[in-house]
Amino acid sequence: MSKLDKKFQEIVMRIRIVFMFVLASTVLFAAEQMSKTEKSPAYDKMKTLVGSWQGTVNENGKPLDTRVRFKLVSDGSAVASWLDEDTPHEMITMFHMDGSNLMATHYCAAHNQPRMILTTGGDPNRLVFKFKDGTNIQADAGHMQPVAFIFDGANHHIEEWTYLQNGKEETTRFNFRRKQRRTACFREMTEYCASGRRCGTRSRLTKIRLCLFTRPRGPLALPK
């Protein structure tokens, strides 16, 4: 048997091994018994936040820019939230069901992980989570207590985070609006074309593509 034939057989054997591994993994996944998740209007409400948001928060009387992003993860069984992502103060919160209870586990920049549970009743557009327990909660350090999410239509929501330290609570209010980058681009493009200018040139199409996929906040700089 030549070296070429041996090499070919080795390749075929590797392909067979990989195929069998993938097939076995697929069968195991199909046979996996998943936990049942109860229906929850509150969890469905949290899922409407999926997307990117920009807003402001008052720190010592000064308005500061802030942002938050929500994403469905784990086969839709949890909503992940990134507050001020990619900054030193980034915080992640996971919303998920525990039986009939909607939970929020908050991974705080204070180096602890409080767990909150949704309070029942009240305004369906104001979801309030109260402190239940947590990990790495220490007597001499602060941690988040209740948090409230206030829904004001599809594109506006408010978050109120309350921090407890030395027996004193302080609430920080975040005011968010959904990022509408693509909608703004199409609107500006439509207004530009409706003004009678030619819209089919390569340079203008390039501007539109840049607007849709890489555009920061601010007006679209279309050529005159």
Tokens describing residue 197: 């200018």
Tokens describing residue 152: 């004001």
Q: What type of residue sits at position 93? A: T
CA distance 78 to 103: 10
Furthest-apart CA atoms within the chain: distance in Å: 82
Q: What is the mean pLDDT of residues 133-140?
A: 94
Radius of gyration of the chain measured on its C-alpha atoms: 25
Beta bridge partners of 174: 57, 159
3-class DSSP assignment, residue 221: coil
Indicate whether 196 pLDDT > 70: no
Q: Quickly list DSSP for 170-198.
A: EEEEEEEEE--HHHHHHHHHHHHHHTT--
Percentage of the chain modeled with pLDDT above 70: 71
List, in order, residues 6 or more apart from 212 with CB less than 8 Å away.
181, 182, 185
What's residue 79's pLDDT?
A: 98
Write the DSSP symbol of residue 223.
Answer: -
What's residue 60's pLDDT?
A: 81
pLDDT tens digits for range 29-44: 555 688 888 899 999 9
Q: Is-contact 189 211, C-beta < 8 A?
A: yes
What's residue 65's pLDDT?
A: 95
Q: What type of residue sits at position 201? A: T
What's residue 209's pLDDT?
A: 52
pLDDT tens digits for range 164-190: 999 999 999 999 999 986 554 555 555
3-class DSSP assignment, residue 1: coil
Q: What is the mean pLDDT of residues 131-144?
A: 94
What does residue 13 show for φ and ψ, rounded to 5 degrees? -65, -40
SS3 content of the chain, % helix, strand, coil (to 5): 30, 40, 35
Residues in the chain: 224
What's residue 224's pLDDT?
A: 39
